[in-house]
Structure 1
């Protein structure tokens, strides 16, 4: 049985298909990225944008979300596409990277990525964001004495402190990105105030390099956590927090990344 209800899936069908398909995942906002899916469709790519928590029959929050949800969606895209990519932002990037470690995909694009698995909370109980075959994946616990010192809160230091304080758990929770058989592209704003995505990207690159695998990275020193592609409206919604960057810098990063993103999804370019 499908894990995504039809009401929680937006399918963007290109007028002139190229044979490429992409699964599009939002982050903690929980929205369906329908506009982004339509952007891909205008370039000949069939796109499925899904809600992966908070939808019909789904987990209420990003906690113990079954990875099978994403694996099934990739399999659904495979039915009509010769090439399949997964693109996610933030928590969605976490899901995209994990999906690529568990099923063959042609490309993974992670925007504001993480190199480790994180927890979610429900009714006062913490557990992994993700499960596989019903078993929670290892996760990094948060530093329980951390307190935000800004308004709106910046959580970058919370994530950094939590990894540094729990090295054994961080090692166990590391996403095994060397298992991704397809191309990998990371899109990073170095002024990300949500979590240290630049540090996480470096860790992903190093782990894949140790396995002899290339990783493409597009960076901007002044961009933040949210990265709009050309023609997209600035993202909104989600939890109130500082995300860093500026509209100008975020747009610049999105414009710089788009050619690489489209090239990998379509299969016309490869990472250096």
Structure 2
């Protein structure tokens, strides 16, 4: 991490660390590249969940890059986003996250709940497990790959629309 970073005012309350990650990424771009996880080589299906208002780190741009690497390799990826969600999506049945006295996480309780609900899909998980087990009744697997330039990523609500394939 780049130690030259200082938190933006006001410094008397919770701090957003996203700027530190962004500065460090720019400062250490060259040495960081060899440390990238080769997600395009993974045989598992990949689910990425990211909030566009994440104040802890740039989760949406990072998730978009990972998804693009997977799509370029022809690998299955599902990217679920909400432009107003922060760092802590809330799964169904969970209440709003407790505010932190130290860190700002971004997002709104409503957007965090919407993102969590979009990411939590027990029916799809069961179908995916059935497909891996070779069930004859298993549906076509879903891959989240909106057309280039569609503006789907980062749009209100969940950003990507499912399309057959993968």
Whether TM-score is above 0.5 comes out as yes
Give the aligned partner of residue 271 of structure 1. Answer: 142
Aligned to 1:249: 111
Match of 2:30 in 1: 168
In 1: Cα distance, 2:112 partner to 2:22 partner: 22
Instruction: State whether residues 184 and 271 of structure 1, in contact with CA within 8 Å, keep that contact through their aligned partners in structure 2.
Output: no
Contact 2:18 2:56 in 1 (8 A): yes
Q: 1:219 to 1:166 in 2, by over 3 A?
A: same
- Equivalence for 1:201: 63
Greater RCO, 1 or 2 (C-alpha within 8 Å, sep 6+): 2
- TM-score (normalizing by structure 1): 0.44
Give the structure 1 partner of residue 164 of structure 2: none
- 2:5 corresponds in structure 1 to 146
**Conservation of the 8 A alpha-carbon contact between 2:52 and 2:83:** yes
What residue is the counterpart of 1:224 in the other structure? 86
- Residues 46-87 of structure 1, C-alpha deviation per residue, up to 9 Å, x if partnerless? xxxxxxxxxxxxxxxxxxxxxxxxxxxxxxxxxxxxxxxxxx
* 8 Å Cα contact 2:14-2:100 kept in structure 1: no
Match of 1:204, SS state, is helix
Post-superposition offset of 1:174: 0.9
1:3-14 aligned at under 5 Å gives the runs none
- Aligned ranges 1:113-132 → 2 under 5 Å: none
The alpha-carbon deviation at position 177 of structure 1 amounts to 0.8
Deviation at 1:170, TM superposition (A): 1.6
Partners of 1:224 and 1:246 within 8 A in 2: yes
Q: Shift in Å at residue 237 of structure 1?
A: 7.8
2-structure distance, mates of 1:166, 1:187: 25
Structure 2 counterparts to residues 31-110 of structure 1, below 5 A:
none
Provide the alpha-carbon RMSD of the alignment: 2.2
Q: What's the CA shift for 1:236?
A: 3.8
Aligned residue-pair number: 130
